Amino acid sequence: MSFSAGSPAQLGYRMPAEWAPHRGTWLSWPHREESWPGKFGPVPGVFAEIVRQLVPHEEVHINVRDGAFEAAVRTVLRAAQVSAGNVFFHHNLTNDAWCRDHGPCFIQRRVAGKVEEAIVDWGYNAWGGKYPPFDDDDVIPTRVATEFGLPVFHPGIVMEGGSLDVNGRGTLLTTESCLLNPNRNPGLSRETIEQFLRDYLGVTHFLWLGDGIEGDDTDGHVDDLTRFVDETTVVTVVEDDPGDPNYKPLSENLERLQKMTDQDGRPLEVLTLPMPPAMYQDGQRLPASYANFYIANGIVLLPAYHPPTDEIARETLQRCFPTHRVIPLNSVDLAWGLGSFHCVTQQWPALMA
Q: What are the pLDDT digits (tens) for 196-248?
A: 999 999 999 999 999 999 999 999 999 999 999 999 999 999 999 999 999 99
345, pLDDT greater than 90:
yes
Question: Is 96 contained in some domain?
Answer: yes
In eight-state DSSP terms, residue 210 is: -
4, pLDDT greater than 90:
no
Helices (H) and strands (E) in the chain, counts: 12, 18
Question: Is 9 contained in some domain?
Answer: no
Q: What are the pLDDT digits (tens) for 117-149?
A: 999 999 999 999 999 999 999 999 999 999 999
Give yes or no for a contact between 175 and 210, defined as CB atoms under 8 angstroms apart.
yes
Q: What are the pLDDT digits (tens) for 263-286?
A: 999 999 999 999 999 999 999 999
Question: Is 7 contained in some domain?
Answer: no
Question: Is 31 contained in some domain?
Answer: yes
SS3 35: helix
Looking at the 3D structure of the chain, how many domains does it have?
A: 1
Q: What are the pLDDT digits (tens) for 35-79?
A: 999 999 999 999 999 999 999 999 999 999 999 999 999 999 999
CATH number at residue 301: 3.75.10.10
Supply the range of the domain harboring residue 214.
22-349
Question: Is 275 contained in some domain?
Answer: yes
Any catalytic annotation for residue 320? no
Q: For the chain, give the mean pLDDT.
A: 97
Rounded Cα distance between 343 and 96, Å, is 11
Question: Is 11 contained in some domain?
Answer: no
List Cα–Cα distances, 261 to 2, 196, 253, 270, in angstroms: 20, 21, 14, 11
Question: Is 5 contained in some domain?
Answer: no
Question: Is 143 contained in some domain?
Answer: yes
What percent of the chain is modeled with pLDDT above 90?
97
Other Cβ atoms less than 10 A from the Cβ of 266: the count is 10
347, pLDDT greater than 70:
yes
pTM to 2 decimal places: 0.97
Rounded Cα distance between 131 and 124, Å, is 11
Q: What integer is the mean pLDDT of 137-166?
A: 98
353, pLDDT greater than 90:
no
